[in-house]
Chains A and B, each alone.
Chain A
Amino acid sequence: MTTTPARLVVADDEADIRKLVSFTLRRRGHTVLEARSGDEAYDLIAAEHPDLAILDVMMPGMTGVEVARKLSQHDDLAAIPVVLLSAKGQAREIAEGLESGATAYVVKPFTPSALAQKVDELLAESGDDHGTAPHAP
């Protein structure tokens, strides 16, 4: 699978998982910026304007959902696709996550390759919307 390299933010307070996600995405050629908390993630995203952000929900400080909500309320940042990662997989929890403005919700545990694929799809879609990246079916 070939994808356009992108700049991504990955936020998780669990170092192992952060590393797992980062590793997987870097293997696919993306540039990954890591954050260890919600607040750190928000600051990083606000500073870096990445192509996409992957946020763990249960983090100290702001949760992933709160970060996503805050991003969606910010005109500059609202367009950045957000993937929420969470161990909470109940329908209500997923719905709550998505209502915050997140684009996708991935339940832990996940298969790294599947997550990477999801990220690629979202990047491709956002590329479409902005008309910056050509998309072949």
Chain B
Amino acid sequence: MWVRIGSLGLRKKLLGAFGVILAITVLLSGLSYRAVLNNERAGDRVIHTQTVITDLNQLLNTLYGARTSYSSYLLTGQDTWLFSLESSRADYDTRIRQLRAETADNPEQQERLALIDTLATSWFTETMDPLLAQRREAPPANPAADIATLGAIQTSRDQFNGVQAFVDRAIVMEQELLAGRTERAQAEDMRLQRLLVFGTAAAVLAGLVLAWLIASDIAGRTGRLTTLAQEISGGSYGKRLRFRRQDEIGRAANAFDQMADHLQATMGQLEEAARQEQAGRQQLAAILNNVADGIITFRPDGTITESNIAVERMFDMTEDELRGARVDDLLACDPRGNGPASALALILPPDHETEGAMHLVHGCRDGEISFPLEVAVSQMPDGDGPQYIGVMRDITERVEAERKLQEQYEQAHRTRSIANAVLDAAGEGMILISPDQKITAVNRRFADMFKISIPAVIGHSMKEYGPDLNKRIGETDRFREMLWTSVGDSERRIEDAFTQVWPQHRELAMVSTPVRTRDAVHIGRVFAFRDVTHEREVDRMKTEFVSMVSHELRTPLTSIKGYVDLLLEGEVGDLSPEQHEFLEIVGSNAERLVSLINDILDISRIEAGKITLNLAPVDLRALIDRLALSFRPQIEAKRQALVVDIPANLPHVRGDHDRLVQIFTNLISNAHKYTPAGGHITIRALSQGRNVRLSVADTGIGLTPEERAQLFARFYRAQNRTTQEVGGTGLGLSITRSLVEMHGGSIAVDSTPGEGSTFTVFLPEVPAQPSPLPATPASENGARRERVDGRILIVEDEPDIANLIRRYLARAGYEVLTAPDAATALQIARERPLDLITLDVILPDADGFTLLEWLKSDPRTAAIPVIVLSMIADDGQGRTLGAVDYLAKPIREDALLQRIDRLLADAHPGTILVVDDEPDIRRLLAQQLAKAGYQTLEAGDGGEAVRIATEHELDAIFLDIRMPVMDGISALQAIRQVRTPAELPIIMMTASPGMMDAAESLVASLGIADLLEKPISGEELAQTIAKNLGHEHEVPS
């Protein structure tokens, strides 16, 4: 609202203010006028009312006159009264009519007047007139005494009083009306007065306020305008008025602001222009002084007029020295050149076309030619008199750089020649193939080796040339595949071996590495082929040589050792103690030589990669137990304690049994040798990650850190005081480490000198679950299975199927025999040790189940696990007869191998007889043993046990002591008649502790392997089995 008013012009605003005052005044006048009119009307009413009252009173007077006249007439009978009466009545008519007219606006008074009129008229006509008429006809004698007259007078008076009462009421009413009207008129007067007083005051006040507001607004804004004008004249252009109200002052302020804007912009432009000019000048100066090029201006006669700092530096002169110097003082032509002698003559442009051309001259310092210089001259645009500008550059560095580049180029050329010469002289044939399979380089040896022409292949794609090269290699497909897969590979180093077939037979060793530029861009791959035909031959010769030498050494050693043994055994007579001792020294040294030879043979075979591991799951716990047992005599002889702490659930490791024996024999033997009498040797094993960690700890002499560092080196032995008494070749740990590493394991040693050493071997575990074989087994290259030991007999009459199964098993590393019929099978099974038989159900001479019965009834063959292979999918009969597994034809390679692996590896079968009269205990034990992979036989009493032990090839017997008919002790004694303790370990069992004591005394005399108290825990059972079945293998008969 204010804004809208504010935007009005000042004049309009003033007009507005006056208008407001005028409006108030007019309003007041109007109001006053109306009040006056009102007042006037109120006065009229009062007057009217008073007239009515007066008329009413006069009416009453008239009526009174009429009464008086009537009465008087009646009393007197004088006609005067009659006339008077007539006059009064006429008067009354006039007056009543007048009154009725006057009170026309008051219905109440009208009504009352009508009533009065009725009463009066009734009084006149009905009371008076009849009597008057009567009187006139017969006037009484004495009217005054006439009772009728008196009565008429009385009646007339009563009627008059009635009319009077109404008239009086009408008067009272008019009086009340009058009073009210008077009061209203007075109030109206008061209001008028107040309105006039306050209205006037308000008008005056409004006028004052408006006047003040307008005046102060104008004064304030003109003040600011003045101040700003002063500031601008003082040079400060930043401020603006920015009045919002667009009245006269606002517009003036706007105009002023615009003027200020313009002024400021103009001033700013002026300043900017000045600044730019300044900066430009400084930049130009800076450019001139910072350009590496020297710039001079000179006159046609060669007098220098201006120069920059570069020129001063270039010629080692000051600005003053330069000014006035001559161009020829600074520049000189090449004295050997055949151009003009004066540099000025050379550089001055003869015409516009040559202007700016570069000239090579020399710069002079102190009059001497001292550096090469390049100069370009052009004419100056204008100025006083013709002038030139010359731009000069010292090109010493460039000339130098060019010289160096040339040198480098020559150097590179030489290097390349040398490299080529070296490459060509190299014994390896090399070819460089780019990632896009182009042959980028080939050395001479390669060309010679494969009989190719270098220019014919360089730049060619392997796609074109590949087939030609491939036919030179024996294993064409493998070679091609290797090339295709490796060319794009920018990371791997690839080693491989191939056989060359053309133009000459060669064994080739190939090494391929990626080639990268200095900034690691893969530019191809170099394939280097080395002719190793001769090396291989030498290797073979070396191995043969070692083998021959070791044979040659063994022969004399055989004599030495043999004769010494004969002497020591007293075969040729008694020996003196010294003779005996000395011969023992000779003997033990001969043995040392033998083990040295064995070790050297091992080393040479390891080096030649000729040791193949027969990998199979190996139970380290059993292996160590057996080893510990075989070491026991020598350990006990040295009064050492050997502790074996291996959990029963230790996972099997994948390894070559014999090599593992070699590894741990070496470690235990070392521990034994390097530990003083009375020391401890502790063997611990546990599963750690995917490895079995087995440690052999001793309390021996220990190793210093230096010794430890070289421990696994060949021919190294701990150098210390006890060395003298310790035999050994120093090759054992080297071989041990090689063997462990061949197993994919590792060996570490921890030791404190004087306290002992701990050797820890990590070997990869066999996963607990029998893992299924790879989906694509031996049929594909590379995916070869690890070898598993075992000899398997295939009984199968169909030659095709027999061949198929043979191929599966042979590929898996088993030794395979075949038998086409039952008779042959039985013969082979009796003659050759077998690990497993696969059995066809239908055979030409007997059915498979009959053969199975024969096998199971013969002690020599009963323990061989048999897998029945049949077209008939029913394994009931086979199982009843003792087959361990059943496979339906057609035979799947993976299924067959999985079963066989499991049978041969995880559960090495042995046959154990369980003897107990309690069927439950017997069965429980048998089940536990079966779970551990053993075949079990059961017997309920001693007699049966003896019969079975005599008839069957058993690996152990668990024999209860207390049994009916024939007790355990008797059975034991009977069995010992036919089987020695070494042949057949017998584990006695008893449930009564008292019996334990009694039985213990029999252990030694009867050769009991172990004595167990029932109930027997699984752990105890496992320990017992491991210990005793190991015993059987270790102790020679």
Contact = CB atoms under 8 A, between A and B. Distances in A.
A76 interface: no
A87 B571 contact: no
Among A16, A27, A87, A89, max chain B CB count under 10 A is at: A87
B594 interface: yes
A46 interface: no
A96 B601 CA distance: 18
B240 to A, nearest CB: 111
Nearest to B977: A137
Contacts of B658: 91
A58 B551 contact: yes
B736 to A, nearest CB: 18
B571 A27 contact: yes
Contacts of A90: 601, 605
Interface stretch (A3-11, A37-45, A61-69, A107-115): A107-115
B558 A17 contact: yes
B594 to A, nearest CB: 6
A113 B565 contact: yes
B565 A112 contact: yes
A39 B550 CA distance: 25
Interface string A1-33: 000000000000010110011011001000000
Interface in B566-611: 566, 569, 571, 590, 594, 598, 601, 605
Interface string A117-130: 00000000000000
B777 to A, nearest CB: 26
B574 to A, nearest CB: 15
A16 B978 contact: no
Given A108-B554, A109-B590, A111-B561, A23 B566 contact: yes
B550 A17 contact: no
Nearest to B601: A90
B569 A109 contact: no
Contacts of B558: 14, 17, 20, 87, 108-110
A60 B846 CA distance: 50
B562 A137 contact: no
A23 B571 CA distance: 9
Contacts of A74: none
Given A27-B571, A89-B598, A20 B563 contact: yes
A110 B550 CA distance: 15
Most chain A CB within a 10 A radius of its CB, from B550, B555, B590: B555
Interface string A79-113: 00000000111110000000000000000111111
Interface string B538-563: 00000000010011001111111111
A16 B566 contact: no
Contacts of B565: 111-113
A75 to B, nearest CB: 18
Nearest to A91: B658
A38 to B, nearest CB: 16
B598 A109 contact: no
A111 B569 CA distance: 10
Nearest to B587: A111
A112 B555 contact: no
Nearest to A108: B558
Given A17-B562, A27-B571, A109 B557 contact: yes
A14 B561 contact: no
B566 A109 contact: no
Contact of A87 (B550, B562, B980): B550
Interface residues of A, number: 21
A89 B551 CA distance: 10
A88 B566 contact: no
Given A14-B559, A109-B558, A20 B566 contact: yes
A108 B565 CA distance: 13
Nearest to A24: B566
Say whether chain B's binding surface is mostly helix, strand, loop, or mixed.
helix
Given A24-B571, A89-B598, A109-B590, A17 B555 contact: yes
A49 B551 CA distance: 30
B635 to A, nearest CB: 22
Contact of A109 (B562, B601, B605): B562
Contacts of B605: 90
Contact of B554 (A91, A109, A111, A112): A109
B618 to A, nearest CB: 17
B615 to A, nearest CB: 15
Contacts of A23: 566, 571
A91 B610 CA distance: 12
A20 B561 CA distance: 10
A110 B561 CA distance: 8
A49 B598 CA distance: 36
A24 B565 CA distance: 10
Contacts of B554: 87, 108-109
Nearest to A13: B555
Given A27-B571, A111-B565, A112-B569, A20 B559 contact: yes
A113 to B, nearest CB: 6
B566 A112 contact: yes
Contacts of A87: 550-551, 554-555, 558
B555 A14 contact: yes
A16 B561 CA distance: 11
Given A87-B551, A89-B598, A137-B978, A113 B569 contact: yes
Contact of B561 (A88, A91, A109): A109
A111 B561 CA distance: 7
A113 B556 CA distance: 18
Interface string B703-739: 0000000000000000000000000000000000000
A30 to B, nearest CB: 14
A109 B590 CA distance: 9
A114 B833 CA distance: 24
Contacts of A88: 547, 551
Interface centre among A23, A58, A108 (most CB of B within 10 A): A108
Given A109-B557, A137-B978, A20 B562 contact: yes
A137 B605 CA distance: 42
Nearest to B560: A109
Interface in B448-477: none
Most buried by B among A21, A88, A109, A137: A109
Given A27-B571, A87-B551, A87-B554, A110 B598 contact: no
A108 B563 CA distance: 13
B954 to A, nearest CB: 16
Nearest to B815: A95
A88 B590 CA distance: 17
B877 to A, nearest CB: 36
A120 to B, nearest CB: 13
A16 B559 contact: yes
B52 to A, nearest CB: 168
A17 B565 CA distance: 13
Contacts of A109: 554, 557-558, 560-562, 590, 594
Nearest to B571: A27
Nearest to A18: B559
B1024 to A, nearest CB: 26
Interface string B111-137: 000000000000000000000000000
Contacts of B555: 14, 17, 87, 108
Given A89-B598, A90-B601, A112 B562 contact: yes
Nearest to B980: A137
Of all A-B residue pairs in the complex, the 10 with the closest CB atoms, nearest first, are: A87-B554, A16-B559, A109-B558, A20-B562, A108-B558, A87-B551, A109-B561, A108-B554, A109-B557, A111-B565
20 contacts: A14-B559, A16-B556, A17-B555, A20-B558, A23-B571, A24-B562, A24-B566, A27-B571, A88-B551, A89-B598, A108-B555, A108-B557, A108-B558, A109-B557, A109-B561, A109-B590, A110-B558, A110-B561, A111-B561, A111-B562
Given A108-B557, A109-B554, 9 more contacts: A20-B562, A23-B571, A24-B566, A87-B550, A109-B560, A109-B562, A110-B562, A111-B565, A112-B566
Interface of A: 14, 16-17, 20-21, 23-24, 27, 58, 87-91, 108-113, 137
